[in-house]
């Protein structure tokens, strides 16, 4: 028995064999005692049958290895079944309805806020009377870029009125796609009207949408060049130069910014709202005010965005964004004239000639009262483009 205890710690298989052998010997001793006993009617012939020979240690080791192999086979089969189920679930989920696009990457916090202004806030803002609507162009061929309706923006980083256009464009276009790499902080020119407005630039940003193409250009920086004016930044593409020369080319008059062309069907030249509502505000404060429908910032920027959304719903299709069916956008479309306009408003293909000190950015609605005009000063230190 001492040998058995030692083997139990050193070799479990051998210990099991020895234990079985010991049990066999004890059984034989018990059998001898039973034979010598008076057991009455017990049939001792059953006990006199020869016992099966005990397996050897080598046989026990083989049996043990077989048990282990069977156990591992069962475990592997179970894991294979679980893995197959997981793969099947992943495949089925990938074939279902795809989730909505996630917000764009590499966005500053205030830009992310602007991209997520809710439809409810925009509905409450509506179409304020002191926000100018884009002009409706009739009879023009669609402006396509990459096989999709194109939205062209031309501005400059020094331009205070471009700040209004940028915010409105981001709010509106985010209903149809996603921006990335957006949030470079700039300030409008300190010597211009509404000086030193905090803003950001479309330079080096990107936009992805299944419905629209967005082609922005910031033509100049906020830094003065060695010569008169500001340092050049983005060169105009052929598409941008085409629409700018078609709608804002007047001999002896600088081209006007901000300039927005939506599929050659809608045109916004100059300010859509008073940029002074941004004076003294940080970018985070402006972004926070976008979600407060009664704030002057929301009235100006969200109101401008509602007009742009109405134009985008017309060119991309009413099913492209849920907000296209809202009451505010329907009212904006009615003021724009939508796709039912049959006449070209005066100066629709030529920007108005501004007086020496101010210009009026107005846009009469084809099927409704004209929004109030916005009179703003032309910048006095622009190098190649005027801003209104």
Distances (CA, A) of 131 to 66, 84, 382: 85, 59, 25
**121 shares a domain with 76:** no
Which residue in 207, 241, 213, 206 sits closest to 147, CA to CA?
213
Distance CA 58, CA 286 (A): 84
Beta carbons of 322 and 119 less than 8 angstroms apart? yes
Q: How high is the pLDDT of residue 232?
A: 94
The last residue of a domain, from among 61, 94, 127: 94
Name 243's Cβ contacts closer than 8 Å, sequence gap at least 6: 143, 152, 259, 261, 264
Nearest CA to 365 out of 98, 132, 64, 178 is that of: 132
Q: What integer is the mean pLDDT of 223-234?
A: 80
- Please tell me the pTM assigned to this model: 0.64
Single residue among 70, 94, 118 that ends a domain in this structure: 94
Three-state helix/strand/coil letters over 283-335: HHHHHHHCCCCCCHHHHHHHHHHHHHHHHHHHHHCCCCCHHHHCHHHHHHHHH
**Rounded to a whole number, what is the distance in angstroms from the first to the last CA of the chain?**
107
Domain that holds residue 33: 2-94
**Is 90 found in the same domain as 122?**
no
**Residue 310 placed within a domain:** yes
User: Is 100 part of any domain?
Assistant: no
Exposure string for 158-194, b = 16+ CB within 10 A, e = fewer? bbbbbbbbbbbbbbbbbbbbbbeebbbebbbbeebbb
Q: How far is CA 62 from the centre of its chain?
A: 62
Query: Above 80 in pLDDT, residue 353?
Result: no
Say whether both 219 and 293 belong to one domain. Answer: yes
| Token pair listed for 358 | 């101010």
**Could you give the 3-state DSSP secondary structure of residue 300?**
helix
- Percentage of the chain with pLDDT > 90? 51
Task: Name the average pLDDT for the chain.
Answer: 76
Give the number of other CB atoms < 10 A from CB of residue 83. Answer: 10
Asked if 11 and 49 sit in the same domain, the reply is yes
103 occurs within a structural domain? no
- Look at residue 281 and tell me if it is in a domain: yes
Q: What pLDDT does residue 235 have?
A: 97
Tell me, yes or no, whether 284 and 370 share the same domain: yes
38-64 pLDDT per residue, tens: 555 555 555 555 666 667 777 777 777
**Is residue 116 located within the same domain as residue 83?**
no
**Considering only 3-12, 103-112, 157-166, 254-263, which range has the smallest mean pLDDT?**
3-12
Share of the chain above pLDDT 70, in %: 64
pLDDT tier, 101 (very low <50, low <70, confident <90, very high otherwise): very low
Whole-number Å distance between alpha carbons of 100 and 316: 18
pLDDT in tens, 174-222: 999 999 999 888 988 887 788 889 989 999 999 999 999 999 999 999 8
Q: Are residues 24 and 141 in the same domain?
A: no
* DSSP H or E stretch at residue 163: helix 160-173
Q: Which of 33, 61, 94 is the last residue of a domain?
A: 94
- The residue with tokens 């602007």 is 114
pLDDT recorded at residue 16:
53
**Count of structural domains, the chain:** 2
Question: Of 338, 381, 31, 29, which is closest to residue 224 (Cα–Cα)?
Answer: 381
The answer to whether the beta carbons of residues 326 and 334 sit under 8 Å apart is no
Residues 323 and 217 in one domain: yes
Residue 335 contacts residue 129 (beta carbons within 8 Å): no
| Res 94 pLDDT > 70 | no
User: Rg of the chain's alpha carbons, rounded to an integer?
Assistant: 41
pLDDT given for residue 216 in this prediction = 98
Answer whether the bond into residue 118 is a cis peptide, omega within 30°: no
Please indicate, yes or no, whether residues 152 and 76 belong to a single structural domain of this protein: no
Comparison of pLDDT for 68 and 372, the residue scoring more: 68
The predicted pLDDT at position 176 comes to: 98
Tokens of 359: 């210009």
* Structural domain contains residue 276: yes
In a domain, 70, yes or no: yes
- On the question of pLDDT at 102 being above 80, the answer is no
Is residue 384 pLDDT above 80, yes or no? Answer: no
Residues forming a β-bridge with 260: 153, 268
Does residue 69 have a pLDDT over 70? yes
227 and 163 belong to one structural domain? yes
Q: Is residue 104 part of a domain?
A: no
pLDDT in tens, 75-86: 766 666 666 665
**76/182 same-domain check:** no
Per-residue CA distances from 55 to 20, 27, 49, 59, 92 (Å): 9, 16, 18, 6, 53
Using the predicted structure, report yes or no on whether residue 247 has a pLDDT greater than 70.
yes
d(CA 341, CA 235): 34
Co-location of 224 and 126 in the same domain: yes
pLDDT given at position 137: 95
Tell me if 192 sits within 8 A of 350, measured CB to CB.
Answer: no
């Amino acid at each position: 028995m001492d040998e058995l205890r030692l083997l139990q710690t050193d070799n479990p298989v051998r210990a099991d064999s020895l234990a079985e052998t010991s049990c066999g010997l004890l059984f034989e001793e018990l059998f001898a005692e039973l034979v010598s006993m008076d057991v009455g009617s017990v049939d001792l012939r059953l006990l006199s049958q020869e016992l099966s020979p005990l397996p050897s240690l080598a046989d026990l080791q083989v049996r043990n290895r077989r048990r282990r192999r069977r156990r591992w086979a069962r475990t592997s089969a179970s894991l294979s079944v679980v893995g197959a189920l997981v793969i099947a679930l992943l495949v089925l989920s990938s074939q279902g309805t795809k989730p909505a696009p996630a917000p764009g990457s590499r966005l500053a916090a205030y830009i992310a806020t602007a991209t997520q202004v809710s439809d409810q806030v925009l509905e409450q803002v509506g179409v304020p009377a002191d926000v100018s609507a884009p002009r409706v162009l009739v009879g023009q061929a669609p402006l396509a870029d990459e096989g999709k309706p194109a939205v062209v923006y031309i501005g400059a980083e020094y331009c205070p009125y471009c700040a209004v256009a940028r915010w409105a464009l981001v709010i509106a276009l985010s209903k149809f796609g996603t921006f990335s790499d957006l949030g470079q902080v700039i300030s409008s020119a300190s010597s211009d009207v509404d000086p030193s407005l905090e803003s950001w630039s479309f330079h080096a940003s990107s936009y992805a949408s299944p419905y629209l193409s967005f082609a922005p250009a910031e033509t100049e920086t906020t830094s003065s060049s060695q010569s008169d004016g500001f340092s050049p930044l983005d060169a105009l593409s052929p598409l941008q130069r085409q629409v700018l020369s078609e709608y804002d080319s007047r001999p002896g008059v600088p081209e006007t910014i901000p300039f927005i062309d939506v599929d050659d069907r809608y045109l916004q030249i100059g300010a859509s709202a008073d940029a002074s509502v941004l004076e003294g505000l940080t970018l985070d404060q402006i972004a926070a005010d976008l979600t407060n429908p009664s704030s002057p910032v929301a009235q100006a920027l969200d109101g401008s965005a509602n007009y742009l959304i109405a134009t985008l719903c017309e060119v991309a299709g009413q099913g492209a964004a849920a907000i296209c069916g809202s009451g505010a956008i329907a009212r904006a479309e009615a003021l724009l004239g939508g796709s039912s306009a049959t006449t070209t408003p005066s100066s629709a293909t030529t920007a108005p000639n501004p007086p020496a000190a101010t210009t009026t950015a107005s846009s009469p609605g084809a099927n409704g009262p004209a929004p109030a005009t916005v009179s703003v000063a032309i910048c006095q230190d622009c190098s190649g483009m005027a801003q209104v």
